[in-house]
Amino acid sequence: MAENWRRPGALRDRLHFQSSPPAGDGWGGPPIPGAGVFTTQFTLSAGMRPRTGSEAVTAARLGGRQPYVVTVRANARLKQVTPAWRLVDARAGETNGKPNRVFQIVAPPTDPDGKNQWIELLVVEGPPS
């Protein structure tokens, strides 16, 4: 029997999987990987389970970081996903042309049970650090 979080009904979130192409530095140098504008490659239903968060002090400011484990059904498109990609909550909308909820991928996709049915990604909510 499948675990509760792996039921189809548990995939309540919609996430855009986005990547950015290489872009020039503006001075004629070689293209910089991931420096382009993020574009949506595909959108999937997902289940998101929060993990224990943390706080960090950066530039004398306290900031919280909330990690999540994202679970999606396995498919061929996920083989191209790397930590250089990001996830965007499709239901959170945008403000001033920027997504309201962005997740950076911390670890590449994994197959937790070895059956190639479900794929998990470890992500952290917030902008890249």
Residues 59-109: tens digit of each pLDDT: 555 566 789 999 999 999 999 999 889 999 998 888 888 888 999 999 889
Query: Which DSSP category does 76 fall into?
Result: G
pLDDT higher than 70, residue 37? yes
pLDDT at 119: 94
Note the pLDDT of residue 4: 61
Provide the pLDDT for residue 69: 94
**pTM greater than 0.85 (yes/no):** no
Residue 9 — very low, low, confident or very high, per pLDDT cuts 50/70/90?
confident
**Residues 101, 86: contact at Cβ < 8 Å?**
no
Q: What digits encode the pLDDT tens for the residues 47-59?
A: 999 887 555 555 5
9/7: higher pLDDT = 9
In the chain, what percentage of residues exceed pLDDT 70? 78
Show the tokens assigned to 72. 């999606």
Q: Are strands 102-110 and 86-89 parallel, antiparallel or unpaired?
A: antiparallel
Question: Can you list the domains of the chain with their CATH numbers?
Answer: 10-20+32-125 (2.40.10)
Residue 107: φ, ψ to 5° = -135, 145
Integer Cα distance of 35 and 18 in angstroms: 13
**Nearest Cα to 24, choosing from 33, 13, 11?**
33
Determine the Cα–Cα distance for residues 126 and 102; give it in Å rounded to an integer.
6
3-class SS at 88?
Answer: strand
